Amino acid sequence: MSFKDNREYIKALQKHGELQVIDKEVHWNLEAGAILRRTYEQRLPAPLFQKITGYPGFRMFGGALSSLSRVALNFDMPPDTHLRDLMKEYSKRKARPIKPVVVKDAPCKENIRIGKDVNLFELPAPMVHEGDGGRFLCTWHINIVKDLETDWVNWGMYRAMIHTRNTMGGLLDINQHIGLIHWKYENNDKEMPFALVIGPDPLCAMAACSKIAYGTSEVDIAGGLKQEPVELVKCETNNLYVPAHAEIIIEGVVKPHEREWEGPFGEFTGYRASPRDKRPVYSVKAVTFRNDPILTMSCMGIPIDDCAAQMSVTGGAENLATLKREGIPVVDVCLYQEMAHFLIVVSTKTPYANIASRIATCLWGSDSGYTIPYVVVVNDDIDPHDIMQVMHALATKCHPYRGITRLEHAQGFSLQPFLSRPERLSKQGARAYFDCTWPLDWDPSIAIPPKASFNNIYSKEVQDHVLKNWKAYGFKEGIPDKKPKGGK
């Protein structure tokens, strides 16, 4: 059974030693953000701030999914479960979507502010990073909008910063689902209704973050991940439905052609990559929240954080599925947490020449992989989850000239730090793939050098003898063939 809300999850984190309750009063202006950022970088428990300066009755919680062990906890799996097994579990549950159910009464309706009673500064929005353009109320949440032309309702996670007591601003990039939906409304001079859900349960947040195909219902996927229907309740001022057990709901419309200065913001790339610019405005018509509300937050930056950990599971699984759907003989993939999802390693069998080209172009043309500028393709004897094996293959099997293929004119993603300002504005980017597979026309007995490793260069008889006597030699750890749980 999944966690109904963040409050059940917080209790579970405390039970498993994954929560740090902070009773000392903490200021919303940079202090909470700095504490949360350091917990990421030091791999510490998730902080629950019990007292926020100037906001009695409110709490803040960060780091909900900032480690693979916390993702495992949500899947009711051991905390040391290997990333490969988490990807498999995500894929299994995603393949069994469950429709939501609608309820009439919901905890998120315990307090209601409508119209002139709306005041976003009533909520303890943090100044997350020094240098941010303002107080970002929405950093770990769900954005809900409905497609103009169909019945599809999109869940995503896109930042939002407070402008005034009833307006906010956000980055609605045309490359992302919400940007495409907003573009349709604006082209038809129509307002786009929205709901922002702060403090959803972790698996609902994971579904919102996932690289799920355009037109697919994330709330159904969330039901599959939770293995039970998500309970939804209707908004007060529009026809959107939100998770009933969330902490805070913000409702309103994005008016066509309205822009206001927004940003910058420290991003998941590890940089303050998107400059201050005029961006779409959320006009807020209603705010509802639970008693004793808990505002969820993240402090994006150098991985590993909430974005990096859960995206390594969901993004890795989605890209693996993309390649398999195309019939590519892929063995495994790894989307490294430490690389901000900008580099993926794919291990594959090589039945024909230039398979690396097909793999890269397949990923770049998909919903799941279009934001990944670097693709590393290795033979199936390389475990993509083992960074030592991958780096060795990159340095010894990728030819510095013919093994690296660059694509100069490609679709850009505005949060990629290496893009220039003109490239961001025009959505121009660049990509490269690294072919670390042996050429098929090389004779294995002559041209391909044998790998000098314990498992390769010694006979099975020698290996078995050494392993059998390993402890007798005096070693206690580091058995050569020991692999992480879920490994090959």
Q: Is the pLDDT of residue 339 over 90?
A: no
How far apart, in whole angstroms, are the C-alpha atoms of residue 363 and residue 374?
A: 10
Which part of the chain has CATH 2.30.110.10? 6-297
Kindly give, in sequence order, each residue whose CB lies less than 8 Å from that of residue 2, ignoring residues fewer than 6 positions away: 74, 201, 203, 225, 226, 227, 228
Q: Which amino acid is at 271?
A: Y
Q: For residue range 67-100, list pLDDT tens digits in order.
A: 999 999 999 999 999 999 999 999 999 999 999 9
With 70 as the cut, is the pLDDT of residue 38 above it?
yes
* pLDDT tier for residue 424 given thresholds of 50, 70 and 90: confident
Distance from C-alpha of 251 to C-alpha of 260, rounded to nearest angstrom: 19
Phi/psi of residue 487, nearest 5 degrees: -75, 175
CA angle (163, 167, 172) in 5-degree steps: 85
Please list, in sequence order, all residues whose beta carbon lies within 8 angstroms of the beta carbon of residue 450, skipping any fewer than 6 positions away.
456, 457
Q: 211 near 315, Cβ under 8 Å?
A: yes
| pLDDT number for residue 1 | 65
Give this prediction's pTM. Answer: 0.86
Fold (topology level) of 326-436: UbiD C-terminal domain-like (3.40.1670)
> Which is nearest to 169 in space by CA: 161, 177, 181?
161
Whether the per-residue pLDDT at 487 is higher than 80: the answer is no
CATH number for the domain whose boundaries are 6-297? 2.30.110.10
Q: Give the 3-state secondary structure percentages of the chain, helix then strand then coil, rounded to 5.
A: 30, 25, 45
Beta strand pairing status for 46-49 and 19-22? parallel
422: confidence class by pLDDT, cuts 50, 70, 90? confident
Q: How far apart are CA 412 and CA 425, in angstroms?
A: 9
Section 466-477 average pLDDT: 82
Instruction: Give the pLDDT confidence score for residue 479 in this predicted structure.
Output: 45
CA angle, 111 as apex, 108 and 115 as ends, to 5°?
Answer: 110
| Cross-strand partners of 169 | 161, 281
Q: What are the start and end residues of each CATH 3.40.1670.10 domain in the chain?
A: 326-436
> What span, in angstroms and rounded, lies between the C-alpha atoms of 152 and 378?
38
240-264 pLDDT, tens digit per residue, is 999 999 999 999 999 999 999 999 9
Q: How far apart are CA 446 and CA 91, in angstroms?
A: 41
Q: Supply 123's token pair.
A: 């909520």
| 347 against 438, higher pLDDT | 347
What is the C-alpha to C-alpha distance for residues 216 and 227, in angstroms, rounded to an integer?
18
The pLDDT-based confidence of 425 (bands split at 50, 70, 90) is confident
Query: Helix, strand or coil for residue 240?
Result: coil
**In this structure, are residues 378 and 224 in contact, taking their beta carbons and an 8 Å threshold?**
no
Q: Is the pLDDT of residue 484 over 70?
A: no
Contact 107, 233 (CB under 8 A): no
Instruction: Give 293-324 pLDDT, tens digit per residue.
Output: 999 999 988 888 888 888 899 999 999 999 99
Alpha helices in 97-234 (DSSP H): 177-187, 202-209, 218-226
| CA dihedral (485, 92, 214, 262) positive or negative | negative
Sequential DSSP letters for 127-148: B-STT-SS-EEESSEEEEEE-S
Q: Which of 47-51, 111-115, 369-373, 378-382 has the lowest mean pLDDT?
A: 369-373
